[in-house]
Amino acid sequence: MKIAIDGPSGAGKSTFAKLVAKELSLVYVDTGALYRSIGLYVNRKGVDPKDAEKVVPLLSEISLELKYSEAGQRVVLNGEDVSDLIRTPEISMCASAVSAIPAVREFLLKIQRDMVDKGDVVMDGRDIGTVIMPDADVKLFMFARPETRAKRRYAELVEKGIECDYDSILADIIQRDKNDSEREIAPAVPAEDAIMFENADEIPVTLAKMLEIIKENVK
């Protein structure tokens, strides 16, 4: 079974992809972690993540690996587990910027397709239903109001002890939506055959609705 979950940042894709994976015994692949890892590398090098001419040559220095265990996905950048380091607001912005560079998307295509070929997955991102798994059994496009998403992201960061400010999180979400949906390559738009799914309820209610849709639509 292949399930694609696309949608804007903070819509709740990863929360529900993880729960669906557990419920249906699928591997959960978080593709945003790959873009974030490139964002982190570029940031550490002091390079402007929007500057494609400077970012592209760095790709040959990058090796990325996804590892899976009971604890979920870990992302390994040149041998270093960066799974926790890539979650800051600064790296979110870097990820969004590098993700608009065609060579970056091309670079990450193989690692994502390899995961698809390995077995049953629920994969979340922006172009999963359109580019990475166009033949997914079910494609969901998850959305939620920017304010709802900002509140959730704020709570998440506070819980992790990361210092943050609600207004700038909201502004960042609006800016990232704009970057991600207006970029020329693989914009974050629903696939023609995607099911639009609003995350507006409590987690158990939303999860039940999602599992129902998956059951109804699985080929």
Q: Compute φ and ψ for 65, nearest 5 degrees.
A: -140, 140
Beta strands in 59-147 (DSSP E): 64-69, 72-77, 80-81, 121-125, 138-143
- Exactly one of 96, 130, 199, 206 binds ligand DC (CB under 6 A); that residue is 96
Dihedral sign of CA atoms 185, 194, 3, 23 in order? positive
Angstrom distance (rounded) from CA 56 to CA 199: 36
Closest approach, Cβ 49 to ligand DC, in A, equals 11
Map the footprint of ligand DC across residues 114-143, applying CB under 6 A.
125-127
Map the footprint of ligand DC across residues 51-80, applying CB under 6 A.
none
- Exactly one of 4, 9, 115, 138 binds ligand DC (CB under 6 A); that residue is 9
Angle between helices 32-44 and 102-118 (to 10 degrees): 140
Q: Does the protein bind ligand DC through residue 36 (CB under 6 A)?
A: yes
Q: Which of these, 69, 68, 9, 67, lies nearest to 36 by C-alpha position?
A: 9
Closest approach, Cβ 102 to ligand DC, in A, equals 11
- Exactly one of 32, 89, 129, 190 binds ligand DC (CB under 6 A); that residue is 32
Binding residues (CB under 6 A) for ligand DC: these are 9, 31-32, 35-36, 95-96, 99, 125-127, 176, 180
